[in-house]
Chains A and B, each alone.
Chain A
Amino acid sequence: MAIAERGYRRWEGRLRGRALRWWIIARWGVRLSGQSKWLRRLVLAAWLPLLYWVLAFFAIGQVTDPETIGAVEDTWQFALLKAQFGGALADAFVRDPASFRPTIWATLFYFYLYTTQVWVMLVTAVVGPRLISADLSAHALGLYFARPITRLDYVAGKLGVVAFWIGAVTLGPVTALYGLSILFSPSLEALSQTIFVWPRAAGACAVVMVGAGAPVLALSSLTRNPRFLGFAWAGLWVLSHVASTVLSLAIFRIGGAEGRDWTGLVSFFRNLLAVAFRFLEVETKLAPAARLSHRASRWMERYSYEHDWRWSLCLLLVGAALSLWVVARRVGRAAEEGAQ
């Protein structure tokens, strides 16, 4: 007999507690946003540069193999290493892999995180704008809050969706890369020497997830029409970077190098990278190499930030907290307006 003919039947199961309701919202949100072809292509594209880093770690594994030490100078692997780190550092690394592994790992992972920032901007511009604005325009908030869902569950769930996609272009590739780098290493010593890399990189990724995810949610909650929000979001990133650069140049022209140290705080990119730079301890790890290699000392100069990284972290976290407050308030107000 068809169900429609049998009529309504009771359900015998038992409802679960509400501890993981945010997870349900995040899971369904990821599933829903994953239907976007553009997003899938973006994530795929974000993984492609990883091939270069995989190749680099493969080469490192080959040239640091004790069985081949002394016979690597003419290999393509060594040539790749020299191209990346310069001859002095490459030579030093091949002669004493244990001492220079932390330097090489930290630097390569930082470089990788550096390149992912553009993908973070693009992915958040595609995923973020619709997350809350679509719910607002579809009057869906009443459906959420008529169930055992709090505003905190809702906001955490939505943040989980952005965080997942940011993680897909940052933490995911970083984790895969670290796993491969250890696999390509000639011994497990590499693991003990570089064990700091993954948790620190993951910490940097978490800061990016919250630091970039929360503001895009706040933007999304401000409107019911997300059409141009993605462009506005990307524009915010680019403009803040341009503003930081222009300010830096202007201050340099007016008053010399003094007083420029705060201009990095204006740029979204630079704040995120300053935190990653510090989290991976690149400055500390590069210091011994900088004494040997001119290239390493140039990196030190170029990538280390003049302002205190803690200001960047503070700015990102305060921005995220403010954004989440805006989201919670907007959502609460919209739910109440809908209820009226």
Chain B
Amino acid sequence: MTPLIELSGLTKDFGAFRALDGLDARLPRGSVGLLGPNGAGKSTLVKCLLGLLRPSAGRARLLGEDVARRPLALRRRVGYLPEVDCHLPGLSAVEFVAYAGELSGMPPRDAMTRAHEMLDLVGLADERYRPVHAASTGTRQRVKFAQAIVHDPEVVFLDEPTNGLDPRGREQMLALVAGLARAGVSVVYSSHLLADVERVCSEVLILREGRIIAAGPLEELRARTGAGWELRTRGDEEALRRELRARGIDYAALGPGRGVVRPARSSAALDEPVPSAPEPVPAAGNPDAPAVADPRSAAREDAASPVDRAAASESTGLPAGEGPQGEGGAPTADGDEATTRDVPSPPDAPSGGGALPGDAGVRSGESARPGPDGNSAGGEAFSAQAVATVPRRVFAAAAAAGCEVRRFVPLRSSLEDVFVAAVRAQEER
């Protein structure tokens, strides 16, 4: 299938200001998040893809078509929810949506029928005859959403669709977007709200200062960001720490027999051949196995300090209160209180937990204390190869230390981690 978006050296200048700087990317169909702080170039990219702005250099292809060569033909297949508060003056909601449908080429009767359906879908059945200009911000946002999808486009560009919505409205909007993706409509979701993108997107393209700093499947980026794995063992924890260190793995103790492992920040050991390790035994039906949500609490405890987070926020330009860590305070299976980043699981996103060898029973050991080097959950990006070898190294280290591995599950890094890591990597470059 042709990719959704192909960018090749895409550049857009506004006078002396370079809004997009030689973007190269290839994104598959599905739900794509355009992420970045305000002024990163998200809206400019969307408008270039819609043909509303002519690129200064480079090329952009949408649904396999060059946007500069056939913009009108492409716009029949595209829906657009602009960021700005806009409406067609004097029209009621249903007229507005029907008019938008007709402008896209729908026959008048179909457009009106579909307008009613779309307004029902977005929950405006009772307000369809109210003038749009007199409606609340939330209602106008929904009407804008309805007009973007009325002609059943192949791809919908949503530019900050949750702007001005209250929490309930935001939830509903995100559910609508997820519904679109389920129905096979590709979604390009542009937002500076990490949590929103994380909820509805499977692919992300992260922009900063007009440049792509990360792009790819969200799960892959998360895994590469290196939040780590939760490791529960029974046995000599100090010996385990030494063995892990020897294999290029950091161990941050969280409590007796419990810690987080992740690739060491700079370790040549990761490039060494992987020693053989006993195959982990699945612990199916293990009554001691903690709830799946538990690993997150470990990650929360292990997360960077609020000072670090604030610094990262300042560095990235994202508001510190925005992003997945906002709500916090969810109790964990162990009765711990999560102090940061309570990430709601995306309903449609594939789960990263439980897929790797885990809950294995090996050997026992003794309790351990939290290590002094509890490194940041965010901000470290590792190569996919380094990440892939970690489980084998961990089991090899456990075997060497004579520890029984009781639980080994990946901790999902949040999108904020991905973002912070990408920003740091860009700054280092």
Contact = CB atoms under 8 A, between A and B. Distances in A.
B355 interface: no
B281 interface: no
A37 interface: no
A137 B73 CA distance: 28
A35 B179 contact: no
B121 A339 contact: no
B125 interface: yes
A140 B52 CA distance: 13
Given A8-B183, A146-B80, A339-B53, A3 B89 contact: no
A17 interface: yes
A126 B287 CA distance: 79
A278 interface: no
Contacts of A336: 52-53
Contacts of A335: 52
A24 B86 contact: no
B106 A139 contact: no
A16 B107 contact: yes
A139 B120 contact: no
Contacts of A144: 103
B102 A143 contact: no
B86 A143 contact: yes
Nearest to B133: A138
A13 interface: yes
Count class of interface residues, chain B: 35 or more
B82 interface: yes
B363 interface: no
A148 B72 contact: yes
A145 interface: yes
B53 A7 contact: no
Given A7-B179, A138-B87, A142-B82, A340 B107 contact: no
Contacts of A21: 103
B88 A4 contact: no
B50 interface: yes
B104 A4 contact: no
B201 interface: no
A9 interface: yes
Nearest to B14: A340
B182 interface: yes
A139 B140 CA distance: 13
Interface stretch (B144-152, B240-248, B368-376, B389-397): B144-152
Interface string B179-210: 11011110000000000000000000000000
A154 to B, nearest CB: 10
A255 B151 CA distance: 68
Interface in A310-340: 335-336, 338-340
A54 interface: no
B105 interface: yes
A9 B90 CA distance: 28
A146 B44 contact: no
Contacts of B183: 7-10
27 contacts: A2-B120, A4-B121, A4-B125, A8-B121, A8-B180, A8-B183, A10-B184, A11-B151, A15-B76, A15-B104, A15-B106, A16-B105, A24-B99, A25-B103, A138-B86, A142-B52, A142-B84, A143-B82, A143-B88, A143-B147, A147-B75, A147-B76, A148-B75, A148-B76, A335-B52, A336-B52, A338-B84
Given A7-B182, A10-B152, A10-B183, 5 more contacts: A135-B89, A140-B87, A142-B80, A143-B82, A149-B103
6 closest cross-chain pairs (CB), A and B = A15-B105, A139-B86, A11-B152, A3-B120, A146-B80, A134-B89
